[in-house]
Amino acid sequence: QVQLVETGGGLVQPGGSLTLSCKASGSIYSVRDMGWYRQAPGAERAFVARISAGGNTKYAGSEDGRFIISRHNGKNEVYLQMSSLKPEDTAVYYCYAKVASQFMGPVEDYWGQGTHVTVSA
């Protein structure tokens, strides 16, 4: 089994910054892509960003360069640095990871439980 735990959510004022972290642990042979989705109130879960094991990144494009994704492969951690936050960034942020639990084994998707980010004055 693989567990993902997100930390770093909270309440922040508009224009502020926040960094989310997510750590994968458990039965891990290798971690492929890691990334973030978010779900705003009343909306569907939406892609935010992802990063490959080699460091290639992809963003949804709606953050206008305000979000930066990074990872520490040795720690199986992924981070999301968010700056110039807006009220519309309020959402539950979920991390995910594509993990192989054994050599030559299947790659499966795992999700964290989500961390709340509220941007409000």
Q: What is the pLDDT of residue 38?
A: 97
Distance CA 49, CA 26 (A): 23
Digit-coded pLDDT (tens) for 39-71: 999 999 999 999 999 999 999 987 778 999 999
pLDDT-derived band at 101 (thresholds 50, 70, 90) equals very high
Q: In what order do the strands lie in the sheet with 18-26?
A: 2-7, 18-26, 77-82, 67-72
Cα-Cα-Cα-Cα torsion 17, 5, 89, 91, nearest 10 degrees, comes to -140
Distance CA 6, CA 16 (A): 20
Angstrom CA distances, 48 to 25, 29, 114, stand at 22, 26, 13
DSSP code for 76: T
Digit-coded pLDDT (tens) for 16-26: 999 999 999 99
